[in-house]
Amino acid sequence: MTDRPERPLLGLMMRACAMLLLSTMFMLVKLAGESGVSAPEVMFWRQAVTIPTLLLGLALTGNLGLLRTRRMASHARRAATGTFGLLCNVSAAMLLPLAEATTLGFTTPLFAVLITAVVLREHVGRWRWTAVGLGFAGVVIVAQPGHAPVDPLGVAAGLGAGLIVAAVSFQIRDLSRTEAPVTCVFWFALYGAAFTAILMPVYAAPHDAWQWLILLLIGLSGTGAQLLITLALRHAAVATVIVMDYTALVWSTLYGWLIWDHLPPAVTWMGAPLIVAAGSIITWREHHLARAISPATALEED
């Protein structure tokens, strides 16, 4: 099989569109929470909508065979971890202003470095340790412990999302050696819907047409974001497209201003650049080593 020629501009555009869809999804999650929809129900419909959407698309293109896998246990483990990460992301979006929740999500590369050093016991050099220190200094500034009305549970959820997404990135790295991207997305959605369905008898409630529309759009925007993220990587390396992830802060700030008339306080604008700079340093090191496959995996020596 011949290698596909890289098309970095197309990859960048796809990644940017994915960040717009992802930001839109979390905006809708916040609207759902404010309208009375519980977090477990949001999680269920986020995954449940993906299943028929992908099945229809694969059936129309004659690609249903892509769903065959010999690694069902690995998909289940990835889904279990990812579902908990989704809970953290949804909770952060509901409890925090969107810009602050998005900023805390940028800590994924920092946690990936910690996992690399502490769990995998790989060597981490001064560049990445410096980035970790810089990034968590930014987190402290954004969170303002003991000084501002930032919901501590929301901060914990945002940091938890960063940690779990970092852990999931290692699982995806392993799965991607044998599985197509759409295969990973489908089985994550199927298992995730099954896991959260257990909670539906407790949390499910009647909804009006507006709430059902929000839940449908959450599922569609989330599915579109996942597919665009994976498609972008078919045209350009992660180290090339990862810079577009930070555009999510622009969209979340815009949504916060337009819908909730909220602009981030000065401390967010002070802390966010530190977190973004830390992630950029880690990505730069991976690009420099020319061995990285994900913004959250830095496994080689500095």
Higher pLDDT, 118 or 175: 175
What was the pLDDT predicted at 294? Answer: 42
From CA 91, how far away is CA 124, in angstroms rounded? Answer: 32
Residue 16, amino acid: A
Q: Which two tokens stand for residue 33?
A: 């929470």
Please say whether the beta carbons of 87 and 256 come within 8 A: no
Range of the domain at 186: 8-289
Tell me which residue of 74, 112, 107 sits closest to 299, measured CA to CA: 112
For the cut 90, the answer to whether the pLDDT of residue 2 exceeds it is no
What was the pLDDT predicted at 182? Answer: 87
Q: Is the dihedral of CA 269, 271, 274, 276 positive or negative?
A: negative
Classify residue 299: in a domain, yes or no.
Answer: no
Q: Which two tokens stand for residue 102?
A: 């998005």
Tens digits of residue pLDDT in 21-49: 999 999 999 999 999 999 999 999 999 99
Classify residue 261: in a domain, yes or no.
Answer: yes
Q: Which two tokens stand for residue 251?
A: 């969209």
Q: pLDDT > 90: what percent of the chain?
A: 43
Q: What is the dihedral of CA 244, 247, 251, 253, to 10 degrees?
A: 160
Tens digits of residue pLDDT in 209-222: 999 999 999 999 99
Q: Which two tokens stand for residue 18?
A: 């994915």
Classify residue 298: in a domain, yes or no.
Answer: no
pTM, two decimals, is 0.83
Q: Please report which confidence band the pLDDT of residue 157 belongs to, taking 50, 70 and 90 as the band edges.
A: very high
Classify residue 301: in a domain, yes or no.
Answer: no
From CA 139, how far away is CA 100, in angstroms rounded? Answer: 10
Classify residue 294: in a domain, yes or no.
Answer: no
Alpha helices in the chain (DSSP H): 8-34, 39-48, 50-60, 72-95, 98-105, 108-114, 126-143, 152-175, 181-197, 200-203, 209-235, 238-241, 247-260, 266-289
Average pLDDT (136-152) is 73
Looking at residue 3, the DSSP 8-state letter turns out to be P
For the cut 50, the answer to whether the pLDDT of residue 94 exceeds it is yes
Classify residue 3: in a domain, yes or no.
Answer: no
Average pLDDT (279-284) is 75
Please say whether the beta carbons of 162 and 293 come within 8 A: no
Tens digits of residue pLDDT in 165-212: 888 877 877 887 888 888 988 999 999 999 999 999 999 999 999 999
What was the pLDDT predicted at 9? Answer: 84
From CA 46, how far away is CA 43, in angstroms rounded? Answer: 5
Burial of 209-245, coded b for 16+ CB within 10 Å and e otherwise, reads eebeebbebbbbbbbbbbbbbbbbbebbbbbbbbbbb
Classify residue 222: in a domain, yes or no.
Answer: yes
**Total number of domains in the chain:** 1
For the cut 70, the answer to whether the pLDDT of residue 296 exceeds it is no
Classify residue 296: in a domain, yes or no.
Answer: no
